[in-house]
């Protein structure tokens, strides 16, 4: 008897939002460990640090129809001084890096939601291989430094391209780019 292969379901889109549910926070932490510890070897065992106590985690969840399935992207933001916010630990699951919209969507919500909270300056330390993506998204390099043995660009977002976003807990839908 021959069996038909089970079709592989591709996400219909992605919900980008603040991680408010426990499963979203667990998924973000697991994805960060996978990317920064297992894949890149930047940290031993876990990448959590003191910033996580104050940071707001943001996730991209894959959607099957309209149901959230899994965390496939994450970033965290926090205020480092009055009016100055920082983003860090941007990660997209390996199987979703070719989607082309997830990193940009996470960055958009990170900056726009901070802008909605009174941000007047938004900065990040960006791994060298990702600096071009940030430049395309209206960021500029302030300096290049070495962190964790790798070059990072200290970059600043042009807030004029990131209007304040008032409902980050609900977030927005990011659709797949056409192949």
Establish if 59 belongs to a structural domain.
yes
- The answer to whether residue 63 sits within a structural domain is yes
Q: What percent of the chain has pLDDT over 90?
A: 80
Q: What is the extent of the structural domain holding 117?
A: 13-174
As a whole number, mean pLDDT of residues 120-138 equals 96
Inside any domain, residue 90: yes
Claim: this prediction has a pTM higher than 0.85: yes
CATH number at residue 57: 3.40.630.30
Q: Is 5 within a domain?
A: no
Distance from C-alpha of 77 to C-alpha of 116, rounded to nearest angstrom: 13
Question: Is 6 a domain residue?
Answer: no
**Angle, vertex CA 23, rays to CA 169 and CA 18, nearest 5:** 20
The count of domains in the chain is 1
State residue 64's pLDDT score. 76
């Amino acid at each position: 008897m021959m069996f038909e292969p089970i079709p592989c379901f591709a996400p219909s889109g992605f919900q980008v939002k603040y991680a408010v549910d426990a499963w979203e926070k667990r998924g973000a932490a697991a994805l960060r460990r996978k990317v920064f510890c297992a894949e890149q070897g930047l940290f031993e065992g876990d990448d959590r640090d003191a910033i996580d106590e104050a940071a707001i985690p943001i996730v991209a969840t894959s959607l099957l129809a309209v149901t959230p399935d899994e965390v496939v992207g994450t970033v965290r933001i926090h205020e480092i001084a009055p009016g100055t916010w920082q983003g860090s630990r941007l990660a997209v699951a390996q199987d979703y890096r070719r989607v082309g919209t997830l990193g940009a969507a996470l960055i958009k919500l990170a900056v726009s939601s901070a802008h909605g909270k009174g941000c007047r300056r938004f900065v990040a330390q960006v791994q060298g291989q990702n600096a071009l993506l940030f430049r395309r998204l209206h960021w500029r390099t302030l300096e290049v430094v070495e962190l964790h043995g790798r070059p990072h660009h200290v970059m600043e977002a042009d807030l004029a391209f990131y209007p304040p976003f008032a409902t980050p807990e609900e977030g927005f839908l990011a659709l797949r780019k056409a192949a």
